[in-house]
Structure 1
Amino acid sequence: MSPSSAVHDNTAWTNAAPDLSVLIPFYRDDPESLIASLDREAGALNGSVEIVLLDDGARDAALITRLIARIEACDLPIRLISLPSNEGRSIGRNRLADAARGSSLLFLDSDMRPDHDRFLQTWSDLARAGQTAVAFGGFSLLQAPEDARFAVHRSMAARSDCLPREQRALQPEKHVFTSNLLVRRDVFEAEAFDPGFTGWGWEDVEWAMRVSRRFKVEHIDNPATHMGLDTVESLAAKYEQSAPNFARVVARHPDFVSAYPSYRVARRLQTVPGLRAIRPLFKQAARSSLLPVRLRAFSLRLYRVALYAEAI
């Protein structure tokens, strides 16, 4: 832990002996609603689950004050770590793992919401059994906002992220995200997240590729809703950040990536004359509210793949 980080533990933290550590990083997001949702299961868990929160350098004093008040009122053991500056997704999650005491780690994004009232109990039972190396619980859109400005992201997520367990298991490493991911401690000690990834995207899938060469990656049905849907502009900006990360994955794991449609289409697009001039048109189409949502989503996928074609 950084010597300049601030740490706050609630009363339940001191004497807890958890099997499962729930690790929640956040940066300019408010995880208070998620904490409240998780704490509803505290009575049934008997101290078997703790939460470690990481404020990745947002420097939002009002938010931290609210969070401290919230965690003091919680029955679950909770530690809040506040970093003085932003360190990024990979380093932050590695820091969370270092602070955890459980034999298994549950990586959970701050914009997720459990879809049922035995969410933590299901993960805790797997952690206590100790047989599961890695398991992804799945996404849903059950509780996600239905605002028109999020319609494109909702369409894309329903098609590619919110998949049933059987479909995810066909390519287990591809459908791993740190938004709802159980990892046994010895697995994470063997394979941590690569701090060389910066910005948004692919650091979790690259990690799963490495892990799957040594350990079994499982998929179960223990979903949570992804509440943090993005506008087209926000999603496009994330894709722009993710292109160098995609190239990093291609260089390291060509055997996995060569089977992905995004890679195959990107390779084909490399032969298209004037792709760089055409690419902004895909983004423009995705932004147009005059077009059907499915066509806008298709255009945004083309924009992402065109970025990848230039990166590789």
Structure 2
Amino acid sequence: MFISVVIPTYNRLPILEKCLRALEHQQGHAALSGYEVVVVDDGSTDGTVAWLEAHAAELAHVRLICQDHGGPAEARNRGVAAGQGDVVVFIDSDLVVTRSFLASHAAALAHSWSERGDRRCFTYGAVINTADFEDPTRERHKLRDLSWAYFATGNVAIAREVLEQAGLFDTGFRLYGWEDLELGERLRRLGVRLVRCPEAVGYHWHPALRLEQIPDLIRVEQERARMGLVFFRKHPTRRVRLIIQFTWFHRLLWELLTLGGLLNERSLRPLLAWLIRRDRAALAMEILRLPLNRIGVRALQAQARREGLA
């Protein structure tokens, strides 16, 4: 098989450099005839395009596609259209992979195809979250790294023919969130099987929490709420309600866990600052998720009422 690795990117140049250099040094495998890396720049303003053009000789597998800022769904679709592989691997631009990454996906896909007699499956690799920029692959696997998502584009591989049959990504998802899980719902309905591939490891880098990030994290939750309803309008099922937290249970849960909003991003600020000063930013982030979830669920409910979906 020939693999097209599709990577949308927007203002992520420092970690994108590590991502692409790791992809340049992939081990071979009998099932893998070759690969390319299709980077779709989504209107970056941080010098990403200039850097890629200047380092083209060092990044022999990379092909660059540019678009105006239109979001990751549009970028991934452009990458798939430009790619030449019969298999597409989706990763994010802040993922640093191991040398056996593509070989592991290829081996797992080939085995499943042979076993099933068709290509109606996709492999889902392991994603390990880390705040270690200097050496992301040093991070150990943690319980909170486990994901129960059916199809998430942080680390998946799928046959092009199956992906195209499902219809690619819905470009109506222009803000943050849900475009990959929505495609996953369509794949599920086609009977496409998830194959776990823990050997295909990617290290997802994101900076340790700083208090200055909180307004942006709140914005992201509000965007997720709006896109969650795009998801629900396409698939108005109980399953999707649970995925996007559009239920009375989730509303009650986050109200209880935040004491009706008494535990919020302002009241928790001294505790968060204290934890960050003591290099416990990961724990601070987990605590901050309590009010963030409440903000997201309340925004979802408010938007649903405006649209007559509540």
TM-score normalized by the length of structure 2:
0.74
Tell me the distance in 2 between the aligned counterparts of 1:73 and 1:271: 52
Distance 2:187 2:297 in 1: 24
Separation in 1, partners of 2:188, 2:87:
17
Q: Would the aligned equivalents of 1:32 and 1:70 in 2 still touch at CA under 8 Å?
A: no
1:91-130 alignment runs, 5 A limit: 91-114=74-97, 116-126=98-108, 130=113
Partner of 1:194: 170
1:178 pairs with one of 153, 165, 184: 153
Aligned amino acid, residue 26 of structure 2: E
Residue equivalent to 2:35: 49
Q: Which moved more, 1:32-41 or 1:119-128?
A: 119-128
Measured at CA, do residues 295 and 119 of structure 1 come closer, stay the same or move farther in structure 2, by a change above 3 Å?
closer
Contact 1:286 1:300 in 2 (8 A): no
On the 8 A contact 1:53/1:80 being kept in 2, the answer is: yes
For residue 239 of structure 1, what is the aligned residue in structure 2?
221
- Count, aligned residues: 270
TM-fit CA distance, 1:120: 1.6
Q: Contact 1:20–1:127 (CA<8 Å) still a contact in 2?
A: no
Opposite residue 86 of structure 1, the aligned amino acid is: H
In the other structure, the counterpart of 2:306 is none
Task: Work out the CA distance in 2 between the residues paired with 1:121 and 1:270.
Answer: 42
From 301, 306, 310, give the equivalent of 2:290: 301
Question: Residues of 2 paired with 1:138 and 1:285: CA distance?
Answer: 35
Whole-angstrom distance in 2 between the partners of 1:225 and 1:100: 24
Amino acid at match of 1:39: E
CA contact (8 A) 1:246 1:308 kept: no
Root-mean-square deviation over aligned CA pairs: 3.4
Moved more, 298-307 or 191-200: 298-307
The residue that corresponds to 1:12 in the other structure is: none
What residue in structure 1 maps to residue 206 of structure 2?
Answer: 228
Identity %: 22
Matched with 1:217 is 194
Once the 2 structures are TM-superposed, how far is the Cα of residue 35 of structure 1 from its aligned partner? Answer: 1.1
5+ residue gaps in structure 1? 1-17, 148-153
Other-structure match for 1:63: 48
* Distance verdict in 2 for CA 1:64–1:303, change over 3 Å: closer
* Structure 2 residues not aligned, in runs of 5+: 114-118, 302-310
The yes-or-no answer on 1:138 pairing with 2:126 is yes
1:250 partnered with 2:237 = no
Residue 238 of structure 1: CA displacement?
1.5
Give the distance between the partners of 2:36 and 2:283, measured in 1 at CA: 41
1:289 offset after TM fit, Å?
1.8
- How far apart are 1:97 and its partner, in Å? 0.7
Q: Distance in 2 between matches of 1:101 and 1:306?
A: 42
SS in 2 for 1:86: coil
Distance 1:296 1:111 in 2: 18
C-alpha change, 1:32 and 1:284, in structure 2 (3 Å) is same
1:236, 1:300 within 8 Å by CA — same for their partners in 2?
Answer: no
Deviation at 1:279, TM superposition (A): 4.8
CA drift at 1:145: 2.0
In the alignment, the residues of structure 2 paired with residue 235 and residue 226 of structure 1 have an alpha-carbon distance, to the nearest angstrom, of: 17
Structure 1 Cα separation of the partners of residues 294 and 35 of structure 2: 40
Question: How big is each residue's C-alpha offset from its partner over 1:134-174, in whole Å with a ceiling of 9 and x where there is no partner?
Answer: 22202113x53289xxxxxx9xx9554x11xxxx5xx5xx2
